[in-house]
Copies of this chain bind each other. A is one copy, B any other.
Amino acid sequence: LSAIADVTRLAGVSTATVSRVLSGLDGVSPRLRGRVLRSVDELGYRPNAVARSLRVGATHTLGLVVCDVLNPFFTELARAVEDEAREAGYAVILGNADERPERQDAYVEALLDRRVDGLLISPAVKTSPLIQTAVRRGASIVCVDRTVEGLDVPTVRADGSRSTAELVDHLVGLGHRRIATIAGPQATITGRERLVAFLGALAAHGLEVPEGHVELGSFQQGSGHAAMRRLLTLPERPTAVFAADNLMALGALQALRAAGLRVPDDMALASFDDSPWFELIDPPITAIAQPTAELGRVAVRALLDVLAGRHARSRLLESRLVVRASCGEQVAGHVGAGVRAHAEQELED
């Protein structure tokens, strides 16, 4: 691999001139410019971005640490992030926390060591001393989907409360009274928020949640499977289950299939996070759709704002209920009113 010195030698100019030509600065005579360009071409010279980064103090690289790359929600998010970042001239290094705080922290550290210009994190849990001190030391960080408690950084997420309440209305409207949930980890804001909204909405209908009707999962597939299996052994079985994410819904469905139970007759099922597969299941699965790609794009833009020294707002996008058949016969026109497509409101300012 050739270095700038090879070019200077071949072109008979100084490194300053080579650098100026390649940076597109003017103030270089056409003659020298031509010689530089020809030499660069002949050598196939490409500037070393590592050296450049050290010198200019920026890597034009963003870090993205997600909770679980196997979760389609985060896949789609990552894709949008990568897309938006690329358009702005940034590469992105991806880290997968696998829902484990220590792995998340290891990634945050590795990315910061590599001097990424900014970091996009969907924190595995609500607390992270490491992230706290990183921010205090001046790291540019934006949280997406989830927040870290007491951390003063812009956060981009979708509200889950409202659509969860709509979902409960939908279920109750269809006659369900014993509604269970497979909740996410209560150490995450999304897991917590969805459970609180679920319980609150049931209470608003005067419904109590019996012992054992709140299962705590890990947001991963296996935990959804196990939780549904436990729910099925309950003496007073629920008639409907709300899974707090995509992957747990998948696991729950597998458990229902394995038990030979039919949806929605034996058990209604609804999920947070939509999936293109849901409409192909028989019956199609009712779900709450997040504006996933938009979350990613908005988060990147917020991070770019931070990097540019501009003020970046936190943003709370809307999620929306997509009613299909998995909770029972649909009452015509029942839910339409509450549904707004990805409208958005602000958290702060």
Contact = CB atoms under 8 A, between A and B. Distances in A.
Interface of A: 1, 44, 46-51, 53-54, 59, 61, 69-70, 72, 75-76, 78-79, 82-83, 91-96, 109-115, 133, 137-138, 221, 250, 253-254, 257, 275-277, 279-282
A240 B274 CA distance: 29
A61 B257 contact: no
A281 B75 CA distance: 22
Given A61-B93, A70-B75, A250-B277, 11 more contacts: A1-B137, A46-B113, A48-B115, A49-B115, A50-B53, A50-B115, A69-B79, A91-B93, A91-B110, A91-B114, A254-B279
A175 to B, nearest CB: 24
A69 B79 CA distance: 7
B96 A94 contact: no
Contacts of A279: 254, 257
- Nearest 7 pairs of A and B residues by beta carbon: A282-B282, A277-B277, A49-B113, A94-B94, A49-B114, A69-B79, A93-B93
A277 B250 CA distance: 8
Given A76-B70, A94-B94, A48 B1 contact: no
For this chain, the copies found in one complex come to 2
A268 to B, nearest CB: 16
A94 B82 contact: yes
Given A44-B137, A282-B282, A69 B78 contact: yes
A270 to B, nearest CB: 15
A292 to B, nearest CB: 11
Contact of A282 (B44, B115, B281): B281
28 contacts: A44-B137, A46-B113, A48-B115, A49-B113, A49-B114, A49-B115, A50-B115, A59-B114, A61-B114, A70-B76, A78-B94, A82-B94, A83-B96, A91-B114, A92-B93, A92-B94, A93-B93, A93-B94, A94-B94, A221-B276, A250-B276, A250-B280, A254-B279, A254-B280, A257-B279, A257-B280, A275-B277, A277-B277
A174 to B, nearest CB: 22
A299 to B, nearest CB: 17
Contacts of A69: 75, 78-79, 82
